[in-house]
Amino acid sequence: MPLAVQMIVDYVQEVEGAPDRLVLVVGKPGSGKSKMMRELATNRGWRYINCRELVTDELLELVPKARPQEAPQIMGGILTRLQAEVILLDNLQVLFTPMLNLDPLAILKQLGRKHTLIAAWPGAYEDGSLTYLELGQSEPHRYPADEVKVIEIG
């Protein structure tokens, strides 16, 4: 088993029963995050979800100002209905869409209080911060990654 995959399995066991059950797999596009996530879904029986499935009509019909408050409840309901032990979230970049007006890391942390999540962060981890560079932007968004389990790949 590749080292990163084993680290993810170990972290899932480590966070089991913890108040926050979020593990981020961090790597730039093309680093193999999605392949690893699908492999974990197949080999461990964990549930693989494309984050596009979390952006529902119910969320989009809200005024942008209300989305940050309502998104965790709407997305959490979707995850709860999966009845999965561990949920693998891929294609997180959809959560960064400016039109959604969301803080992706804050939402993942909230969801990780109720569900064990492995999320593929499309960016980098530098000096204790997660970064994400939007297409067409010159400066990346920075998110403090304190108290978040991070596994870097690629």
Domains observed in the chain: 3-11+20-122+141-152 (3.40.50)
Residue-averaged pLDDT of the chain = 92
Confidence of residue 22 (pLDDT cuts 50, 70, 90): very high
- 127-142 tens-digit pLDDT: 899 999 877 778 888 9
* Mean pLDDT of the 21-27 span: 94
User: Which uninterrupted H or E stretch holds 141?
Assistant: strand 141-144
- Mean pLDDT is lowest, of 3-17, 47-61, 70-84, 115-129, for 3-17
Question: Is the pLDDT higher at 88 or at 28?
Answer: 88
| Number of neighbours of residue 40 by Cβ within 10 angstroms | 20
pLDDT at 1: 52
Q: What is the pTM of this model?
A: 0.92
